[in-house]
Amino acid sequence: MSHEIRTPLSGIKGSINLLKEDVDKDEKLEILKILDQSSDTLMRIINDILDLSKIESGNITLSKESFD
């Protein structure tokens, strides 16, 4: 699990370091795109971990719904 968390976090940290450098507007926009994607990925992983811990502790409520 640590690898899955470490990868997007490394993308975030590396992108922040690049933004500290003197880069042009296009490069900054690309770096911001990487930051956005990495933070979204990290958030999904953390949410999945929290959901799994709820399931394991029995603190999740399941509802029965129909779907196609």
In a domain, 62, yes or no: no
What is the total count of domains within the chain?
1
**How far is 64 from 43, CA to CA, in rounded Å?**
27
**How far is 64 from 53, CA to CA, in rounded Å?**
21
In a domain, 63, yes or no: no
pTM value?
0.70
Q: Which string of DSSP letters, residue by residue, matches 1-67?
A: -HHHHHHHHHHHHHHHHHHHS---HHHHHHHHHHHHHHHHHHHHHHHHHHHHHHHHHT---------
In a domain, 68, yes or no: no
List the chain pLDDT tens, one digit each, 68 residues: 677 888 888 888 998 898 888 889 899 899 999 999 999 999 999 999 988 888 899 888 878 999 88
Q: What CATH number is attached to the domain comprising 32?
A: 1.10.287.130
**How far is 34 from 23, CA to CA, in rounded Å?**
15
Domain span at residue 28 reads 2-57
In a domain, 65, yes or no: no
